[in-house]
Amino acid sequence: MVDVVAQNRTAWNRESASGEGEWSQPVDLETIERARRGEVEVILTPNRIVPRNWFGELAGARVLGLASGGGQQVPVLAAAGGQVTSFDNSDEQLARDREVARRDGLSVLFEQGDMMDLSRFDPQSFDLVFNPVSTIFVPDVERVWQEVRRVLKPGGRLLTGVMNPAFYMFDHDAIEAGAEPVVKFQLPFDDTRHLDKQGLDKRIAAQEHLEFSHTLDGLIGGLLRSGFVLRDFYEDDWSDEATPLNKFMKVSFAMLAEAV
């Protein structure tokens, strides 16, 4: 059995500490200053800025940055007036948020843990949960939705980014080695099942992420069954450098859901 939480913590610590990952590059002071003026520029998916009306009133709002470390979104939401808690599995990703908070005099609380377990937080602790693409790193997305619903007050908002499950039908290791995209895997994809023992052992030894595609039933249906209504939705692309699939499909989408 693989400890997915521990493996992905190690992988994100390695990537974040290297300073090379695009999701671990802290925002600059200019971005923070714009947020203080109400110009909130953050992403849930690779490229598209989240519509400002998705947030509602941020000043004084209790915000949970769920798996949102890296120095990018949490500091912006804090600068815009949110009472923000940064919750992430990775020590290093939390450290990036701390760096920006310290640099720019922002008040942020920090918690490390697994997004499938938010039991340290009381029911209805938050007005808004901000969750950029990250549910691909947990095996049970419906547990995440249930936990988020518990900690959100009625009428609270979940903003979440998700990878399109179809992205995982392809062998991305082969694509990165120069092969043309070819459908290979049956969905839902699960690194712990789709990799043979040798491949899984290699992935673990290299301190790489383990990922899960989930189903649309789990991603959207599970959200609705957990006590949310879907208020808005958009798709997003990435870049051809990040994935050749970008030429053929929108690789991710974002959802605005309201707790009922």
Assess contact for 131 and 232: CB atoms under 8 A: no
Contact 233, 159 (CB under 8 A): no
β-strand pairing of 83-88 with 108-112: parallel
Residue 27, pLDDT > 90, answer yes
Task: With CA atoms as reference, report the closest residue to 142 among 132, 74, 150, 233.
Answer: 150
Q: Render pLDDT for 112-140 as a digit per residue (tens, 0 to 9).
A: 999 999 999 999 999 999 999 999 999 99
- Nearby residues of 148 by Cβ (< 8 Å), 6 or more positions away: 66, 118, 129, 131, 158, 226
Handedness of CA 28, 32, 37, 43 (dihedral sign): positive
Question: Is 202 part of any domain?
Answer: no
Higher pLDDT, 242 or 10: 10
Question: Does any domain span residue 23?
Answer: yes
pLDDT grade for 176, boundaries at 50, 70 and 90: confident
Flag whether 126 is in a domain. yes
**Cis, bond preceding 188 (omega within 30 deg of 0):** yes
b or e along 140-169 (b: 16 or more beta carbons within 10 Å of the residue's beta carbon)? ebbbbbbbbbbbbeeebbbbbbbbbbbbbb
Q: 14 lies in a domain? A: yes
How many distinct structural domains can be found in the chain? 1
Rounded Cα distance between 175 and 45, Å, is: 21
What count of Cα atoms within 13 Å lies in the side-chain half-sphere of residue 52? 8
Q: Is the pLDDT of residue 180 over 90?
A: no
For 54-111, what is each residue's pLDDT tens digit?
A: 999 999 999 999 999 999 999 999 999 999 999 999 999 999 999 999 999 999 999 9
Q: Which two tokens stand for residue 106?
A: 């922002």
Q: Is the pTM of this model over 0.85?
A: yes
Q: Using one digit for the tens of pLDDT, what is the confidence trace for 181-218?
A: 899 999 999 999 998 899 999 999 999 999 999 999 99
**183 belongs to a structural domain:** no
Handedness of CA 240, 242, 248, 252 (dihedral sign): negative
Q: Which of 95, 92, 98 has the alpha carbon at shortest distance from 10?
A: 92
In a domain, 171, yes or no: no
Instruction: Identify whether 159 is part of a domain.
Output: yes
**Residue 230 DSSP code:** E
- pLDDT band of 161, cuts 50, 70, 90: very high
Joined tokens for residue 3: 């400890």
Q: Which domain holds residue 68?
A: 4-163+214-259
Across-strand partners of 255? 160, 233
Contact in structure between 114 and 134 (CB atoms under 8 Å): no
pLDDT score of 173 more than 90: no
**CATH number, residue 54:** 3.40.50.150
- Other CB atoms within 10 A of residue 39 CB: 13
Confirm whether 69 is domain-assigned: yes
